[in-house]
Structure 1
Amino acid sequence: MTTDRRPARRRAKTSLLLALTAAAAFGGFAATWVRETFQTPALAATVPPPATTVAALPVAVEGQPLPSLAPMLRKVTPAVVSVHSKQRVRVSPFGNDPFFRRMFPDMTQERINESLGSGVIVDAARGLVLTNHHVIEGADDVSVTLSDGRELRAEFIGSDPDTDVALMRIKADKLTALALANSDQLQVGDFVVAVGNPFGVGQTVTSGIVSAVGRSNLPGLGFQNFIQTDASINPGNSGGALVNLRGELVGINTASFNPRGSAAGNIGLGFAIPANLAASIMRQLNDGGTVRRGALGIETQDVTPQIAQGLGLDQSYGAAITRVYPGSAAAAAGLRVGDVVVAANGQRVDNSAALRNFQGLQPVNSKVTLDVRRDGKPLQLSATLREQPRETSGGDLDPRLAGAKFAELPESLRRQGVSGVLVEEVERNSRAARNGLRKGDVVLAGTMGEFGDLGGFRASFGDRPQELWLRVWRNGRQGDLPMR
């Protein structure tokens, strides 16, 4: 009998292949183990590289671990609200032409303009909410939405266009308010967090540092003492909170700068109103609804190299006094025409705008120290700022202006290079109206010369001119109006 050896040979080949495969696998594993064991230095023998110092958020505040901003923000975000304002406007196919609007009143239509912003609860018991003036300017109806979703109607208390601060009141239980920090203690490099409602997408938090303090050279805004930050402040953030790492309010977000416009987004140039300034404005608004400012009662002009040479000055900066109003704080302090103010309370005064900005941030009865150059020699004077009237009746100045009310120009308009006084109201069929004055006109000069503000306008009527004309700026054009 013959025996078939093929299955046995196949089994032997299979066993051999498995053995070779296992050997190959083990060999690869063994080779890898040998290489890693003998060719790689032991970790214990590795010398660690020197530590590199990098900028980072602090890990503790006042001895308390703070690996995240979340614990602080849980206390802050309930105090930040979304602000929704509505304004009803009448539009006509004839634009603003008063003749056709009167002739065809039925063709005008009502339109609702809506805007979104942010606000900060600063007093939970009284329901006080701070926001920006431009967020609620001209609004007929304002409501706020809390972080828990409650929507509440807001009562307008008052606003100050020149610092862009507004105050509202809401009525609700279980409100959360932010404590106000001393913003004068802020330093460049301090960490800050911005909370608001950018683009209406909902409550959003961004972080950064204080990039600068005391910014006051932004065009188109009012009295300025801004905190600059690189925390993102986009449209809709206006009126929101800028807080420190303790969750205290250090500023009210108000503006961002972008040469391509706000729709282009944030580029790290955001600005906030310091908490100390906002608190001062808030107290005045809550007490009487208006803000009273101190003033020196002077008119000035910038010091050019030619003026500096004529006045015997070594440097061409400062505000040269061209008029001192009778009975003013400046007159009481002994300031004279020809004096040059180079510093106020230790702050350098570069030009007339800087001195005006300084005065606009001071309350009535503030005591200020002025560094002056008189006949080229240094002199220091002290003054107590007095309140200047913010508006005046034309009839009190001259019968030919009866029926018109004049007011100070908005500071934002002044920063666009306009000076003079604003025609705030004109009564229908009054003498001023018959002479051609209209509400919204800006009076630049007159028979009595030029004037920079309402104080100068009032002072110029010390001697009533026999013939009176006013140079008026209206809709981008200038013209002279005779007052009869």
Structure 2
Amino acid sequence: MKELLEFLRWPVVCGLLAAIIILDHFPDLLGINNANDTRSVSSQGPYSYAQAVQQAAPAVVNIHTRKTVKQKLPALYNDPILRYLLQKNIIRQKERVQNSLGSGIIINPNGYILTNNHVIKDADKILVLLQDGREALAKVIGIDRETDLAVLKIDLNELETITIGDPSQAMVGDVVLAIGNPYGFGHTVTQGIISATGRHGLELTTYENFIQTDAAINPGNSGGALVDARGRLLGISTAIQSNSGGSQGIGLATPSDLAIRIMSDIIEYGKVIRGWLGVNVEPIPAATAQSYNLPVNNGIIIMDIHRGGPADNSGLIKGDIITGINNQPVGNGQAAMNFIAATRPGEEVVIDLVREGQTMSISAVVGNKEDATE
């Protein structure tokens, strides 16, 4: 027996050593995750997004609107006599009720809801349906046509609100979920990735900085939530690019930080407060940028200045090439416009520019955009 134990000792020791090495260096072979291994499943993304949906979906509402529209008159009513009779109501113009669908997001427990302006535009009645089955008539608190956003309010208790994310940290390739009411189906979730950020020049709104996604967004999703894999709000689904009217993998969402700022202004001031510099600009041509050794696709040239406006008072002149504001590149002008609009009137900004080949910086006090119309 003693000889047998002596014979087995070294094979057993070698086997234990081999097992320790395998457990330490190759845990995946045995289905074991090393606690110190950063390549765990959680770092690669979950297999299910149910938790994110459970967190975000209760704050997403279905919106049903109704409005009365007058039917288009036949061409024969262009006759002056018939038009006169119509105006005297001897001949009545036919009317019909038009129903439409959309989505919204409960932002705070006081009942304030964010949605798109085109969802509730000209509506006579706005009915909000919650995921828990409750419903309420909504009141329009205010709208902002320049971003196609609207703020509604409902009077209900114990409302679920959504967690706000940070769209500035969103990256192309990040997983996102779109939650809304497509085609009136009710709460529906679609999944995709962020396809691009900072989309502009689409002429959908004045201030464009869209998040593009391939998560399916269809009619009825407008005003709904675009959330990250943790259920945090990144954007408000606003538009789709489609030849058929349905999803073709190009959906656009207004970033949540912009939407929240618009909402806060509407609630506090009854309108949106935007900064204003008082300049008309155009992107500089590539040849001009090259002659001044400027980066391609960054730089705007001042074509005109509002007399007595912030730019005029700061010393900016026509022909100045603006390259940055507060150390941020201006791109082709859209980034600069968005930045100034988000700056509060009275705040000072530092403008980097090129004048007659010389670089310099000028400080300007941002004005109120309402002054542009006065």
1:162 partner amino acid: E
Aligned to 1:113: 98
Query: What SS does structure 2 have at the residue aligned with 1:335?
Result: coil
Query: What CA distance in whole angstroms lies between the structure 2 residues aligned with 1:97 and 1:388?
Result: 42
The counterpart of 1:80, out of the listed 60, 71, 95, is: 60
| Structure 2 unaligned spans of 5+ | 1-28, 30-39
The counterpart of 2:198, out of the listed 214, 222, 226, is: 214
Report the Cα offset of residue 178 of structure 1. 0.5
Structure 2 contact 195–212 (Cα < 8 Å) conserved: yes
Query: What CA distance in whole angstroms lies between the structure 2 residues aligned with 1:101 and 1:92?
Result: 13
Query: What CA distance in whole angstroms lies between the structure 1 residues aligned with 2:370 and 2:326?
Result: 24
Aligned to 2:162: 178
The counterpart of 1:289, out of the listed 270, 287, 291, is: 270
Aligned to 1:203: 187
Report the Cα offset of residue 333 of structure 1. 2.4
Please give the per-residue CA displacement for 1:112-165, whole angstroms capped at 9, x wherever unaligned. Answer: 2221110011112x1111111111112121111111222210011001111111
Structure 2 contact 56–163 (Cα < 8 Å) conserved: no
Aligned to 1:235: 219
Provide TM-score, normalisation by structure 1: 0.62
Structure 1 contact 84–143 (Cα < 8 Å) conserved: yes
Structure 2 contact 69–96 (Cα < 8 Å) conserved: yes
Structure 2 contact 323–329 (Cα < 8 Å) conserved: yes
Change (3 A) 1:324 1:363: same
Matched, 1:60 2:47: no
The counterpart of 2:340, out of the listed 349, 359, 375, is: 359
The counterpart of 1:386, out of the listed 362, 367, 371, is: 367
Change (3 A) 1:368 1:233: farther
Aligned to 1:439: none
Report the Cα offset of residue 83 of structure 1. 0.8
Please give the per-residue CA displacement for 1:403-448, whole angstroms capped at 9, x wherever unaligned. Answer: xxxxxxxxxxxxxxxxxxxxxxxxxxxxxxxxxxxxxxxxxxxxxx
Aligned to 1:325: 306
Query: What SS does structure 2 have at the residue aligned with 1:199?
Result: helix
Query: What CA distance in whole angstroms lies between the structure 1 residues aligned with 2:96 and 2:336?
Result: 42
Report the Cα offset of residue 228 of structure 1. 1.5
Q: Percent identity among equivalent residues? A: 38
2:330 partner amino acid: V
Query: What SS does structure 2 have at the residue aligned with 1:93?
Result: coil
Q: Return the index of the structure with the highest Cα Rg.
A: 1
2:127 partner amino acid: S
1:250 partner amino acid: L
Change (3 A) 1:69 1:301: closer
Structure 1 contact 193–245 (Cα < 8 Å) conserved: yes
Query: What SS does structure 2 have at the residue aligned with 1:85?
Result: strand
Structure 1 contact 94–101 (Cα < 8 Å) conserved: no
Structure 1 contact 319–355 (Cα < 8 Å) conserved: no
Please give the per-residue CA displacement for 1:8-62, whole angstroms capped at 9, x wherever unaligned. Answer: xxxxxxxxxxxxxxxxxxxxxxxxxxxxxxxxxxxxxxxxxx9xxxxxxx84379
Listed as ranges, the matches of 1:300-449 within 5 Å are 300-304=281-285, 308=288, 313-314=292-293, 318-351=299-332, 355-389=336-370
1:115 partner amino acid: S
Query: What CA distance in whole angstroms lies between the structure 1 residues aligned with 2:326 and 2:117?
Result: 28
Q: Aligned-residue CA RMSD in angstroms?
A: 2.9
Aligned to 2:6: none
Matched, 1:226 2:203: no
The counterpart of 1:69, out of the listed 49, 52, 55, is: 49
Higher relative contact order structure (alpha carbons within 8 Å, sequence separation ≥ 6): 2
Report the Cα offset of residue 350 of structure 1. 4.5
Query: What CA distance in whole angstroms lies between the structure 2 residues aligned with 1:132 and 1:165?
Result: 4
2:182 partner amino acid: P
1:156 partner amino acid: V
Structure 1 contact 61–245 (Cα < 8 Å) conserved: no
Aligned to 1:440: none
Matched, 1:122 2:145: no
Aligned to 1:192: 176
Query: What CA distance in whole angstroms lies between the structure 2 residues aligned with 1:344 and 1:151?
Result: 46
Matched, 1:253 2:237: yes
- The aligned length equals 329
Report the Cα offset of residue 103 of structure 1. 3.6
Structure 2 contact 200–334 (Cα < 8 Å) conserved: no
Listed as ranges, the matches of 1:270-285 within 5 Å are 270-285=251-266
Please give the per-residue CA displacement for 1:144-190, whole angstroms capped at 9, x wherever unaligned. Answer: 11112222100110011111111101111232110212222222222
Report the Cα offset of residue 97 of structure 1. 6.3
Query: What SS does structure 2 have at the residue aligned with 1:389?
Result: helix
Query: What CA distance in whole angstroms lies between the structure 1 residues aligned with 2:169 and 2:347?
Result: 21
Structure 1 contact 193–231 (Cα < 8 Å) conserved: yes
Report the Cα offset of residue 341 of structure 1. 1.6
1:205 partner amino acid: V
1:108 partner amino acid: Q
1:83 partner amino acid: I
Query: What CA distance in whole angstroms lies between the structure 1 residues aligned with 2:284 and 2:166?
Result: 35
Query: What SS does structure 2 have at the residue aligned with 1:158?
Result: strand
Structure 1 contact 341–370 (Cα < 8 Å) conserved: yes
Change (3 A) 1:205 1:288: same
Q: Which moved more, 1:88-97 or 1:167-176?
A: 88-97
